[in-house]
Amino acid sequence: MTPTPPSGEPSSALKTALHSSTILLVFVSVFTALLSGVYTLAHPIIKESSGSAKIMRLAHEILPTSAYDNTLLKDTVEIPATSALGQNEASIAYRARKDGKPVALILQASAPDGYAGRIHLLLVVAPDGRLFGVRVLQHRETPGLGDYIDPKKDKNKKRPWIGQFTNANPAAESERNWRVKKDGGRFDAMAGATVSPRAVIKAVRKAALYVAANHEALFRQ
DSSP assignment of 67-100: G--S-GGGSEEEE--BTTTTBSS-EEEEEEEETT
Report how far apart, in Å, the C-alpha atoms of 41 and of each of 32, 46, 51 are: 14, 9, 17
Kindly state the average pLDDT of the residues 176-201: 97
Confidence (pLDDT) at 55: 96
Confidence (pLDDT) at 48: 44
- Contact between 140 and 79 under an 8 Å Cβ cutoff? The reply is no
Confidence (pLDDT) at 22: 73
The whole-angstrom separation of Cα 76 and Cα 92 is: 7
pTM above 0.95, yes or no: no
The whole-angstrom separation of Cα 154 and Cα 126 is: 25
DSSP state of 5: P
Q: What is the mean pLDDT of the chain?
A: 87
Query: Over 50: is that where the pLDDT of 97 sits?
Result: yes
- In the chain, pLDDT over 70 holds for what percent of residues? 79
Between residues 14 and 76, which one has the greater pLDDT?
76
Per-residue confidence band for 6, with pLDDT thresholds at 50, 70 and 90: low
The whole-angstrom separation of Cα 185 and Cα 41 is: 48
- Contact between 139 and 150 under an 8 Å Cβ cutoff? The reply is yes
Mean pLDDT check: name the lowest of 19-23, 46-50, 109-113: 46-50
